[in-house]
């Protein structure tokens, strides 16, 4: 808990607990293994978009990103609340997904430049209202789980 609180100083206690319980340890291990094969670029994303539901108490949850990748945020009101805000991120994510499906590279869809993942830097696209590529955003906190 302390390691995650240091890594994410603006997070509330319930958010720290959620980060610990849903840590990316296995996702990072899978990305490391795939990148070590050196057969194709690996792209890692972290969906952090917070729905405007339940007075802002609802957090990003498992599979919430699916409707964004497929430009269906207005169909999933229980997940997104609908409207312009989720639609704006969905447009970028869906276009990037199409680019990835066509070419193996998600760039050019409206998200920031998305560098392939490397074990050294842990390049991770944070998918939120203002998407951002970050180098291994939770590495220090994750080390405490070993």
String of b and e for 104-117 (b: at least 16 CB within 10 Å)?
eebeebebeebeeb
Q: What is the pLDDT of residues 89-115, one digit of tens each?
A: 999 999 999 999 999 999 999 999 999
Pairing between strand 132-135 and 123-127?
Answer: antiparallel
Distance separating alpha carbons of residues 94 and 29, to the nearest angstrom: 26
Q: What is the pLDDT of residues 59-94, one digit of tens each?
A: 778 889 999 999 999 999 888 999 999 999 999 999
Cα torsion through 69, 74, 80, 82, rounded to 10? 140
């Amino acid at each position: 808990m302390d390691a995650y609180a240091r890594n994410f100083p603006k997070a509330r206690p319930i958010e720290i607990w959620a980060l610990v319980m849903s840590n990316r340890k296995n996702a990072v291990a899978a990305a490391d293994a795939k990148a070590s094969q050196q057969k194709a670029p690996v792209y890692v994303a972290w969906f952090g978009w917070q729905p405007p539901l339940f007075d802002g108490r609802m957090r990003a949850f498992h599979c919430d990103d699916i409707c964004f990748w497929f430009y269906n945020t207005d169909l999933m009101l229980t997940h997104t609340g609908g409207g312009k805000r989720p639609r704006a991120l969905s447009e970028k994510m869906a276009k990037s997904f199409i680019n990835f499906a066509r070419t193996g590279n998600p760039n050019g869809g409206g998200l920031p430049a998305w560098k392939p993942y490397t074990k050294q830097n842990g390049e991770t696209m944070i998918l939120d209202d203002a998407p951002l590529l970050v180098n291994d955003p939770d590495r220090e906190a994750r080390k405490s789980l070993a």
